[in-house]
Each structure stands twice: as C-alpha cells, then as structure tokens.
Structure 1
Amino acid sequence: MLQRISQTIFQGVSWQHPVIAAGLRVLDPIDKLVRVAGGRGAYPPMSIRVRSNGLRKQFNGKRFESFGKILAEELANRSGLKRDSKVLEIGCGCGRFAFGLSDVLEDGAYTGIDIDAPSIVSAKNNTFLQRKKFRFEHLDVHNAEYNPTGKVSANEYRFEFDDNSFDVVFLVSVFTHMLPDDVRNYIKEIGRMLKPGGHLMFTTFVMDSGTKFDGNDFVYGTGPYRSSHPEMHEICVGYYIDFLDECLREARLVRTDDPVYSTKGRSVPDAQTTEFGQDLIIARKG
C-alpha cells in the first residue's frame, strides 16, 4: 500500500515524504514483532531498511534477508570471496549484505561505507554486526538523491584507504544512482584500493540489452548512460557496457566474463543470469 501511495503523491525518494515516513514509524513495532517471531529480529527497523532497499516487500524482513543471501552467494561464486578475504562494500546501507556475508567471512574483515548517515548509525549500533566486528563508516559525498548536502563531489573523491588494501570490493545499486564522471572516478579509486588479483563486483542496468527493465523505461540522458527519470537522472541510471569497460581499463581492471543479467528485468538469450534485481559486472585486477 505504501508503494502505491508514494507513486501517487511523491516523485523521488519515497521514504523522504513525511506521510510515508510517518507510516513507516507506525509500522516499525509491528514489523519488529513479526521479524522476531520469524527469527529475523537482528535486522534493522523497517523505517531504516527502506532507505537503501526501497518500499517494495520490505515488511517482515524476508526480502531483506533473501537478497542478502543471493548477493553473498554471487560474491562467493564469482569474485573469489573466501572466509579470510578483506572486503569493502561501497554503499552498504544499513547492512543488508553485511548480514548476508556474516556466515562467510569467518576469518576475514568487512568494511562498509555509505553516504546515508542514519543507515550507517543503524549498522554501527547493531549488536549482531558488532559481534562480527564488521566496521561501518559514513561517506560524506554529494548525491542529489541521497545526500544533497554532501561536502565532496563523487567525481573527485579519494577514498581514505591505502593502495592494495582489499581482496574484494563490491557495490550494489550505487552506480544506478551516479552519473558518468562519478562512476569513472569510483572505479579508478577501486582499482587503486584492490590488491593484485583482487575482484570488483557491481550491479547496474546494462543498456545494451534494451532500455526497458522491469517496468522502467530508460529514455532520458545521452552518451554512455540512460535514466528512467526525466529530471533527476540519479534516481535510476543504466549504462552501456563500452563505457564501463573503458572505466575498467583506465583503472587497470578487466572484466572476467560477460555481464550476468538479472532475471527480474528482461530475457537475454544465451546469457548468464542472476536472481538478483540488477545485472552484475565482475572484474579483476591484474
């Protein structure tokens, strides 16, 4: 119901609308009771989960849990993730994939960073994630949709991590909210931070296979990207593979395989597929 209301009265980030926000706060205690009964009591409140996961099917935490597990499996199968890997997640939100990786990273280290301060506060204060010794940090980078008061532009930001620090870096639904210069800089920085032989995995909407995706029509924008939103393009962005490959080459990374296409969007004949809601790109540092 909240999804339909948001589509009717608000264009943009639905959870920012006061009516939606008030409704979520009312639902939080009920959501917690259902989560606890279902063994998902450790997950963040619904009003926090929706900030980086959307309103759709977020009540009770089942979707939050299932997508976390799907992505953890994809990382294990495609990115060389091991139990002792040092992992960086850019755009971690309130920890959906940190929870998903909690059974995998037994001897490794996880760092999550995000531009949404309330999500980071929630992850830092989560007792389950604290026991795992997972680390979370706020990233004060400007984004028209999620962090309009951010101090630093994404196209010039340098991450506060040393060269060759991580075995795996991954981003989920981050480049889908960023414009080309921002994406180029992030990939360059990821190339710097990855160890030789390390892997990058990120999600996007690959425009080469069509500009319609799960009910969205990506018709706005020019050059290497298209957006489904006429005014604030960062709300939903897809990219052509040639641009992504160019960015990877500049960062001394190379794709390990063809894109892995989401079964949620459209059918791509003879392609690798994933049950995750966006297409996957995997690259390796030589």
Structure 2
Amino acid sequence: MLDPIDKLVRVAGGRGAYPPMSIRVRSNGLRNQFNGKRFESFGKILADELANRAGLKRDTRVLEIGCGCGRFAFGLSDVLEDGAYTGIDIDAPSIAAATDNAFLSRKKFRFEHLDVRNAEYNPTGKVAANEYRFEFDDDSFHVVFLVSVFTHMLPDDVKNYIKEIGRMLKPGGHLVFTTFVMDAGTTFDGNNFVYGTGPYRSSHPEMHEICVGYYTDFIDACLKEAGLERTGEPVYSTKGRTVPNVETTEFGQDLIIACKA
C-alpha cells in the first residue's frame, strides 16, 4: 500500500530508479526503508569499504552473493564499468526486480536466482547450501562479497561457501563479508547470542539461521582450507557495540577481509 507514496517521494528525491519499497524490505528490513535514503546510504558505504579494503577499480570483476534486489549494485554503479558486476540471491522476487530494473539493465549488471535451501529465506530450495557448487568457472572474479549472508547460515554451509569462493577468486583476489564477530562478546546491538555451540552462536532459540555470529578461529580455518587468508583483524561495526582499540566501520555488521595468495 505504501509503494505509490514511496515512489513519489523517491522520484522527488532523485531515487526513482530504486525498486519498490515492498521489494526492498524483503532483504533490507522494514526499518527506515521508506523513501530509499537508507537503501542508498548503505550502498555507498559498502562501495567505499570495497574500494578501500579490496582494491576495487572500474574493471574489477565483482560477484555479490546475497544481492537482494540490488542495493549494492546501485551503490557500485558509479564505480564499476558496464558488465563488471554479477549478483545472485535465493529470494526469487528480489532477483526478478533487479533483473527487470531499467537502470541496472543499462549497466549490463547480471542477476541470477540461486535455488539453495535456507530455513528462513528459501526452505524449499533444491540444493543444500553445504553441497552447492556455484555455476562459475575457477578464477572468475577479483572480488566476492557477501553482506548479511553468513549471519543466516550454519557452519557446514559457511565452510562450503568459503571453499567455493576460494575456487572462484582470481589469484590476489579478495573476499569481503559481514558477520557478528563473537570474539568481541556475544551481545550485539541489543541482541544476545546465547544459543548454539562450537564455532557459532545465535540470538534465536529455535531457528538459529535467523541471526548467527561466528568466532574467528572457525573463520580462519575455513579460509585456510579455501586457500585464503585474512588480511588483518576484523573491522568492527560502530552500530552494535563498543570494542576499544580496533578499526571500525559505519556498516551495520562487522567486516572480515581475506585475500587469495
């Protein structure tokens, strides 16, 4: 019901190219989504992070896993040359909206549906996440990034995805992803991560995939097996908690950056 009003406000504010609010909220949440300002600002924040931490240039070949309806595709549209971006996601309506978007089509950005099972977002998916092989060749991308994807996946799934990312990255390429780093404490932005055992904790008692955080020992082990290595300490979000004497980001989750030898 809010879509027509949202569109009028977006057009007046120069954000008319963005998908309807009813689509944006599917992967970006309801909070502050009206008028598209938050959608726009988070896209630009991540574009800056990728440029500063992963050497993003105009001809960088980029894969985003969990692209939703294209929030970061819009954010990268002024940075990347035409055809340099590919986005995949398990939410079919979001992918359809991104594929049909006139602005992103002019940029020749590609979008593909990923029919992988996920208890929260795609419970009827054909393939389990811990068994999935991405349909891209080895050494295909300079940068692969995931925003709020591993925060909805369990350890075996994360391990397989990182292994596949290591295969798809070019030598010297970068993996950038967000998570909630449990080493800094199991409370983040008012959520208590007290469920689960071993390498992860969840804030949800029944469906752990709703919100998952990880310890860096597990992440490092996954990276090593995939031929990747962290480039430094996690970059901690200023939104969730205060961690003294660490590098921080304005993004809403903690950042991990790794490189392929």
What interval of TM-score do these two structures reach, taking the shorter chain for normalisation? over 0.9
CA distance in 2, matches of 1:156, 1:53: 27
Correspondence 1:41 to 2:16:
yes
Correspondence 1:283 to 2:258:
yes
CA distance in 2, matches of 1:137, 1:28: 25
Q: Name 2:203's counterpart in structure 1.
A: 228
CA distance in 2, matches of 1:50, 1:176: 17
Correspondence 1:67 to 2:53:
no
Q: Which stretch has the larger CA shift, 189-198 or 108-117?
A: 108-117
Unaligned runs of 5+ in 2: none
Task: Report the TM-score, using the length of structure 2 for normalisation.
Answer: 0.99
The residue type paired with residue 238 of structure 1 is G
CA shift, 1:215, in A, is: 1.0
Correspondence 1:264 to 2:245:
no
Correspondence 1:198 to 2:169:
no
Correspondence 1:140 to 2:109:
no
CA shift, 1:137, in A, is: 0.2
Q: Name 1:19's counterpart in structure 2.
A: none
Contact 1:204 1:239 in 2 (8 A): yes
Q: Name 1:160's counterpart in structure 2.
A: 135
CA distance in 1, matches of 2:10, 2:56: 29
Task: Report the TM-score, using the length of structure 1 for normalisation.
Answer: 0.91
Report Cα offsets for 1:169-208 as digits up to 9, x if no partner. 0000000000000000000000000000000000000000
CA shift, 1:107, in A, is: 5.4
The residue type paired with residue 95 of structure 1 is G
Partner of 2:24: helix, strand, or coil? helix
* 1:1-286 matched pairs, under 5 angstroms: 26-106=1-81, 109-286=84-261
The residue type paired with residue 2 of structure 2 is L
Contact 1:90 1:113 in 2 (8 A): yes
CA RMSD of aligned residues (A): 0.6
Contact 1:206 1:239 in 2 (8 A): yes
Contact 1:167 1:199 in 2 (8 A): yes
CA distance in 2, matches of 1:108, 1:136: 11
